[in-house]
Structure 1
């Protein structure tokens, strides 16, 4: 059975951990259980799960146990979440101060549970991709960072949206660059102009279109990772808010320290994503790069993908492979010259990369053709990505050097996911079967 992620539950309460394991299984997560802190630490060192959920520790304080994970090099990059029966402000503050990744009320409904877990699992995917890409780069003689556990120490930018922003701004005062937007329209304008590490939506009366705004942000290729905290009134359907893209829903009134911890924890996570994105670029060097397009070259792709396929099969993980071809680039080359064809090819590759997540890999496969590898991505999600990128490319007017007219590309696509008996050749052949 394909696993969305491997979760380690550490809880001295055997009945509660068994119930949580069964609940996670219904959502596609594979869980292991450790009843003692010592067993949990040893399992984490040897198996390196995607996520650790800590309930009651047999050694005392659960936050202290989380600190042990963050303090060991082998486990520091595993997201650690405290699973509690109710949120306590002091405990949330301690988790923030000690670098834990979240505090989750385990009595929440499934919509919140899985919505809160997804970005943490995706963060684990980024960490795994960083390790995998660095190991592959070493085979090509390229030194690349394999681990990132701390975000760059830069003041965050936080956007507070709504007609009740002042109390939130007061709570977050001194935590970074706090920017306020009175309306959703003002927020849209700001999000176009600059980057933010998190957004908080705080309205005395929730306006029409609030959840549509959340969906719009989540579906924007540039903003889809932006953490959004929604301060919800009594009439808000929290489950629907999570489905529409909210990262965290907190009911009003909320204790100031709980709100502060929630926002700053998400800020830290977002800044860590940016740090990992930068480290992933370490492996893109002359020895691994295609000299024409600037993307990863075919030799690196084939070595990387072969390794990724074996990992996906051995760990029962999703792995999707997508191909994009633009055959009419040859027509542009014939009509306007080699430099025009080169410039257009480079732009197509850059657009594809720009529309993907940081952990997805883009490589030049052959003339006018790119391969994209999407780790931990099921086929239905890969197809959405494929068609979205193909649509953007097809409707874009490209500006090409020394060509004084807009240029369009005709895009062909192919997609597949890894199966039990697959090899590198079978995967590539199946993904490209609609291109030749």
Structure 2
């Protein structure tokens, strides 16, 4: 997978060297000599990943990384710190600033390319989510990027897959102050537990006795229930080839033994933050999808969804010569409720009305708010007589108990009128059924309300 790689270094020779190496691997390379330019390039959306030098005049790499990660529009861009600094405290400072990794000069080309490809793949997975999530802002949902960027990465749920008691004890002691940690020594049981529990991160040892940690990583990436969990590998320095293979398989990060406690905490925190970032985007996309088809007041499907779905149900009914019936319901004297008690009370009535209608229908039935106080119920595989029984059951359910309003401090009597129609052989479209149900509803209103009327047979 190729990507646009931004290389940031104040030394031109270093830029040229990295540009040549990355270009030879078919990456598109952009360069910047300082942090200010790097931030501007990222804000314009021109980079998929940033290779960032630490030691630069003015704004150093740590500050550049911190600003990128604190800005909602750029927080999703992977940042790899590239520097000659090799002390644990330096690596920790970069990870605390939000860096996704910390590579030490002179660079190992294989490790560099594996990390760039891995982070590029992870970013590609979130880009589509970001674009869809941002579309939800137009529907009135709060800015999902701002909420996602504010994630701390603390209080995560972590599964540690390790079979050496001494190692388990040390890692648990380090992690338990900030996360809820569960331990599993068997790889197959770990897969099952990860599938059953919503873990934020799974830490996998490559040194499991008689078991293949990479196989476990592959299974976690394959299963739908665990596909989005963050995977962090642990291995010895001699396991370099297997670690790089793990990144290709889909692991998100790795730790080399002996494991520094602070680096462990920083990398786990980064992985928890990344998973929750993606989850927030998914939740935003789901919310926008629901808003597109759901009525927010009643929780029923809206008119747009009903029109499309009813047309499909009509066509299927006609094709298979199956019955299809439609109920059109209207709350009696609803305007008087709003005029007497206010629109908040009217909303309370509509919500309870929707709940009572829903309680009288099946899962396969389509229940939608047509608009105002009108609800449509579409009954597949249901003839006219059965539809009338459903309509009468709804009418009785609405009339049987008063509706609570004004925060449950008052109760009022509510009734409903219902028009019933079913598909006929000569119907051209679902609009024909809807028209007959509307006519029947009009007659129910005209003849005194609180009744069910069936469309005429003619």
Normalised TM-score (structure 2): 0.57
Aligned partners of 2:161 and 2:185 also within 8 Å = yes
Indicate yes or no: 2:269 matched with 1:269.
no
Aligned to 1:33: 31
3-state DSSP class of the match of 2:269? helix
The within-5 A match list for 1:368-379 is none
Aligned length: 312
Aligned to 2:182: 179
Whose Rg is larger?
A: 2
Q: Relative to 1, partners in 2 of residues 1:45 and 1:178: Cα closer, same or farther, differing over 3 Å?
A: same
Q: Deviations over 1:143-173 (max 9, x none)?
A: 4535231227762011111212222212223
Aligned partners of 2:217 and 2:250 also within 8 Å = yes
Q: Which of 200, 207, 219 lines up with 1:197 in the alignment? A: 200
Aligned partners of 1:51 and 1:124 also within 8 Å = no
Aligned to 1:334: 320
Deviation at 1:212, TM superposition (A): 1.5
Aligned partners of 1:9 and 1:54 also within 8 Å = yes
Q: Which runs of 5+ in 2 are unaligned?
A: 308-314, 326-361, 367-458
Aligned to 2:159: 159
Indicate yes or no: 2:60 matched with 1:57.
no
Deviation at 1:86, TM superposition (A): 5.8
Q: Relative to 1, partners in 2 of residues 1:188 and 1:76: Cα closer, same or farther, differing over 3 Å?
A: closer
Indicate yes or no: 2:218 matched with 1:232.
no
Aligned to 1:42: 40
Higher RCO (CA 8 Å, separation ≥ 6 residues): 1
Aligned to 1:102: 101
Q: Deviations over 1:161-187 (max 9, x none)?
A: 121222221222312101001211331
Distance 2:108 2:221 in 1: 22
3-state DSSP class of the match of 2:149? coil
Q: Relative to 1, partners in 2 of residues 1:120 and 1:176: Cα closer, same or farther, differing over 3 Å?
A: farther
3-state DSSP class of the match of 2:7? strand
Aligned to 1:248: 253
Distance 2:276 2:289 in 1: 21
Distance 1:332 1:292 in 2: 26
Aligned to 1:16: 14
Deviation at 1:83, TM superposition (A): 2.0
Aligned to 1:257: 262
3-state DSSP class of the match of 2:210? coil
Deviation at 1:60, TM superposition (A): 5.5
Q: Deviations over 1:366-417 (max 9, x none)?
A: xxxxxxxxxxxxxxxxxxxxxxxxxxxxxxxxxxxxxxxxxxxxxxxxxxxx
Q: Relative to 1, partners in 2 of residues 1:43 and 1:205: Cα closer, same or farther, differing over 3 Å?
A: closer
Distance 1:345 1:89 in 2: 62
Q: Relative to 1, partners in 2 of residues 1:59 and 1:202: Cα closer, same or farther, differing over 3 Å?
A: same
Aligned partners of 2:35 and 2:61 also within 8 Å = no
Distance 1:134 1:83 in 2: 32
Aligned partners of 2:234 and 2:257 also within 8 Å = yes
Q: Relative to 1, partners in 2 of residues 1:213 and 1:204: Cα closer, same or farther, differing over 3 Å?
A: closer
Deviation at 1:136, TM superposition (A): 7.4
Normalised TM-score (structure 1): 0.60
Distance 1:336 1:27 in 2: 60
Distance 1:332 1:167 in 2: 68
Q: Relative to 1, partners in 2 of residues 1:73 and 1:261: Cα closer, same or farther, differing over 3 Å?
A: closer
3-state DSSP class of the match of 1:284? helix
Q: Which runs of 5+ in 1 are unaligned?
A: 300-328, 347-436
Q: Relative to 1, partners in 2 of residues 1:32 and 1:157: Cα closer, same or farther, differing over 3 Å?
A: same
Distance 1:98 1:186 in 2: 35
My pick for the range that moved more, 123-132 or 93-102, is: 123-132
Aligned to 2:82: 83
Distance 2:293 2:140 in 1: 8
Aligned partners of 1:230 and 1:250 also within 8 Å = yes
Aligned partners of 2:42 and 2:74 also within 8 Å = yes
3-state DSSP class of the match of 2:224? coil
Indicate yes or no: 2:213 matched with 1:210.
yes
Distance 1:36 1:191 in 2: 43
Q: Relative to 1, partners in 2 of residues 1:251 and 1:67: Cα closer, same or farther, differing over 3 Å?
A: closer
3-state DSSP class of the match of 2:158? strand
Aligned partners of 2:100 and 2:270 also within 8 Å = yes
Deviation at 1:278, TM superposition (A): 1.5
3-state DSSP class of the match of 2:229? coil
Q: Deviations over 1:91-118 (max 9, x none)?
A: 2322343333332346234366334543
Aligned partners of 2:161 and 2:203 also within 8 Å = yes
Q: Deviations over 1:209-238 (max 9, x none)?
A: 332121111111222232222222365333
Q: Relative to 1, partners in 2 of residues 1:64 and 1:189: Cα closer, same or farther, differing over 3 Å?
A: same
